[in-house]
A and B are shown apart, each in its own frame.
Chain A
Amino acid sequence: MTDLATSEASGLTLTETDDGAARLHRNIFVAIAALLVVAPFAVYPVFVMKVLCFALFALAFNLLLGYGGLLSFGHAAYFGMASYVSAYTAKNWGLTPELAILSGTAVGALLGLVFGALAIRRQGIYFAMITLALAQMVFFFSLQTPRFTGGEDGIQAVPRGSFLGLISLADDRTLYWLVAAIFMAGLLLIYRIIHSPFGQVCKAIRDNEPRAISLGYRVNRYKLAVFVLSATLAGLAGATKAIVFQLASLTDVYWTMSGEVVLMTLVGGLGTVFGPIVGAAVMVAMQNYLATLGAWVTVVQGIVFVVCVLLFREGIVGVIAKAIRKPL
């Protein structure tokens, strides 16, 4: 289960941060911020918010797989459960949006702690299967507790409420700034985690676990920590999505959602900092424009999956990084 992310980017140390790369990353952050400011005036804000929610979800997933080397196939559980909790607390308890999102995120973190503790007991494909099976358990729970989740209907007409009880978020543009801020904070946090000593240890574990153990690191603690961080951020994404679309439904906890986030990360570039954002944008755009194709969307997604794995493992941003010989 080693070098999943690095094997493809051989000769290119994506993790090394020399001065040039740091400056480049700073410029990219400025560019993203600028783009976020302009975007709602150029594109339909709800579409941008959808991209941002899924981008945050994919970033969270990539933190686990790209930097922790752990392929979770059940990330829909944290995303979907957080989405339910946030929708439920906003609608039935009348929490303000920021508190609803926080409560959803907290539940994502808690679920991540429990599931992570179980899953890291096995490695590789077993790890993937366990996370998938646990996520399916969450799906059945959601299906069978209609009083909480609304069953097949989901929780609809979730009130967007007012931020801090003061600023109404009913208007898409107003809500957009909150979503953009959450996304930016998540992105910066992940960037910080990746480049912290903690992140370096995670990468060491990803590349060579026995060596990390022999160096004296308590590998399982690091794995669990990165798992919980990833689940928390996935929860944040799901909770935000529930407020944006005023809806939490079974689609968000179903296993195809877990597959979708893997695909976003793969398309954008596994183990790259910015890849998941590009991947999410591409996939959400594709879903929007291919919606008329109906059931063919699954087929197209499957083909993208197969092509990515066979021919295009570096992903979009990975290819660019290779071309300019700088880690992205």
Chain B
Amino acid sequence: MFELLGVPPQALFGQVLLGLINGSFYAILSLGLAVIFGLLNIINFTHGAQYMMGAFVAWMCLNYLGVNYWAALIVAPIVVGATGVAIERLLLKRIAHLDHLYGLLLTFGLALIIQGLFRNQYGASGLPYAIPPQLSGGHNLGFMFLPNYRAWVIAASLIVCLGTWFLVEKTKLGAYLRAATENPTLTQAFGINVPLLVTLTYGFGVALAAFAGVLAAPIYAVNPNMGGDLIIVVFAVVVIGGMGSIMGAIVTGFSLGLIEGLTKVFYPEGAATVIFVIMVLVLLVKPAGLFGRAA
């Protein structure tokens, strides 16, 4: 048995894999935040709760309606995205003209309500969600055992992230979106329905969070608090990446997950804080973040 840097390879690759998985969630969530922030200028504090809702909708689909994982992967983002559309239309719209800090406060309040409601209904302990049979088991790669589901999570999140990147950067709809981000009034003058675009963007960002939630359901126990702590780490990821670019969100998301995983191998005590430490270092050197434009 050879050792890599004094660590058995199984442990090393296991943590690298775990890091990449966490990184997938960081990437999708910070991507959703970036898309929403771009057009609404709101840091969506409800994002963590919406991620949790995604997982719960998948769980409810299975347990109440008998709808399987694959359908939930489509249904949950649509359902949760629809609640996002309602939230934008009913609440966020009313404070759009105000200082964007009010958006942060409003979405924080919403997060409290949603988490509280789920905690009342389902308690704080986790509910199990089985890995779909098609993805159970795994492959022995020689140097490590790769569970199929984990490979799928990484692949799926990469596909979704790159798909979003393509949508925003390469399509006509994306061009409208970017135009509206730069100058909403002018874009509207060209006959583009900016309010509708704003609503759909928020719905889409929320759907992304819900998608991440469904992916997470079989890995972590489905519970009301699963989004609360994660979202703060994602905020740190966002600060490190700088909210400048879509690609920035994806790259920083994955790499920070990886760094976190590696820290767990070499210095386990530091794993919970390493992302925050990196945030501090990045702030000292490059206050605008790695991919951000200077403020």
Task: Give chain A's interface residues, CB within 8 Å of chain B.
Answer: 1-4, 7, 71, 73, 118, 121-126, 128-130, 132-134, 136-137, 140-141, 143-144, 255-256, 259, 262, 266, 294-299, 301-306, 308-310, 313
Q: Are the C-beta atoms of A303 and B113 separated by less than 8 Å?
A: yes
What are 23 residue pairs bridging A and B, where the CB atoms are less than 8 Å apart in the complex? A1-B99, A7-B99, A71-B101, A118-B284, A121-B287, A122-B288, A124-B101, A125-B37, A125-B100, A125-B104, A133-B235, A133-B279, A134-B280, A136-B233, A140-B276, A143-B272, A144-B269, A295-B116, A295-B119, A299-B117, A299-B120, A305-B106, A308-B105
- In-complex Cβ contact of A306 among B43, B91, B272 (8 A): B91
Interface assignment of B214: CB less than 8 Å from any CB of chain A: no
- In-complex Cβ contact of B106 among A121, A122, A140, A310 (8 A): A310
Given contact pairs A132-B235, A133-B233, A302-B111, enumerate 18 new A-B contacts (beta carbons under 8 Å).
A1-B101, A3-B99, A4-B99, A7-B98, A118-B284, A121-B284, A124-B100, A124-B101, A125-B37, A128-B104, A133-B236, A140-B272, A297-B116, A298-B116, A301-B109, A305-B105, A305-B112, A306-B91
Residues of B within 8 A of A255 (CB): 228, 232
Would A306 and B235 be within 8 Å (CB), given that A71-B101, A128-B101, A136-B276 are in contact?
no
B48-67 contacts to A (CB < 8 Å) = none
Residues of B within 8 A of A137 (CB): 273, 276-277
Q: Are the C-beta atoms of B108 and A259 separated by less than 8 Å?
A: yes
How many of B's residues come within 8 Å of A, CB to CB?
45
Would A306 and B110 be within 8 Å (CB), given that A129-B238, A136-B232, A144-B272 are in contact?
yes
Interface assignment of B295: CB less than 8 Å from any CB of chain A: yes
Interface assignment of B85: CB less than 8 Å from any CB of chain A: no
Task: Give chain B's interface residues, CB within 8 Å of chain A.
Answer: 37, 43, 91, 94-95, 98-102, 104-106, 108-117, 119-120, 228-229, 232-233, 235-236, 238-239, 269, 272-273, 276-277, 279-280, 283-284, 287-288, 295
Q: Are the C-beta atoms of B279 and A130 separated by less than 8 Å?
A: yes
Q: Are the C-beta atoms of B120 and A296 separated by less than 8 Å?
A: yes
Q: Are the C-beta atoms of B120 and A132 separated by less than 8 Å?
A: no
